[in-house]
A and B are shown apart, each in its own frame.
Chain A
């Protein structure tokens, strides 16, 4: 069972208080009708399935908020978490280690 830092509660809490919510930074387009069938297919179904650092979304039961996390899918370690709406942070060397 992992420990996850909630950026809203500013507390590190057991995984059982959290639910996974898919890959992060896949924004719904402002005007889906302007998307071609291929673009829309990619938006719906195509995911990076990263081996290693993966930007993903979690939700905390405690505060009810969705937030973003960078988790290494190989070591299953959270490298960082940050609030929804914040820009995708770049992976620093120390975080990766």
Chain B
């Protein structure tokens, strides 16, 4: 939807705050991955960085026993998860307020990220994500399109990240 906006915006990259969503950290051992997936209505991916989405809920595999789940605010995922807890012990922690999310998009977005991300951001496949570092902050970088990213940042780190992004944006404006 914001893609529409880009056609009218001449700036090579757009940095926007995104509205909060429900964000849960799911930890479960591989043996019980399928049960939890069933409870949440998602086939939890096993490759680190892979994502699946169904019915507004999205799961990102961050590690062999760790998934980041997002859903619209107000979605109740705790109750169905709790129902399988006895057979599929796990931890499902609400971290909706731990991070804030920026949307980064536009033709120069890869250069914007390359200012502070040592990882080869261009190599992150569209539709996947990675937990990585941006300068000294740990962030989760979601690649939604070739030039369309979301970045989850721990709340207190966000001003630093925003300040760095603003400096890089000024370079684009200066054309150098």
Interface residues of A (CB under 8 A from B): 1, 8-11, 13-17, 61-65
Contact = CB atoms under 8 A, between A and B. Distances in A.
Given A64-B131, A65-B63, 11 more contacts: A9-B49, A10-B47, A10-B48, A16-B133, A61-B133, A62-B48, A62-B63, A62-B132, A63-B48, A63-B62, A63-B66
B130 A62 contact: yes
B64 to A, nearest CB: 6
Contacts of A63: 48, 62-64, 66, 131
B119 A17 contact: yes
Interface size class of B (residues with CB under 8 A): 10 to 19
B63 A61 contact: no
A29 to B, nearest CB: 25
Contacts of A10: 47-48
A62 B50 CA distance: 13
A15 B118 CA distance: 9
A17 B48 contact: no
B63 A8 contact: yes
17 contacts: A8-B63, A9-B48, A10-B48, A11-B48, A13-B119, A15-B118, A17-B133, A61-B132, A62-B62, A62-B130, A63-B62, A63-B63, A63-B131, A64-B62, A64-B66, A65-B63, A65-B64
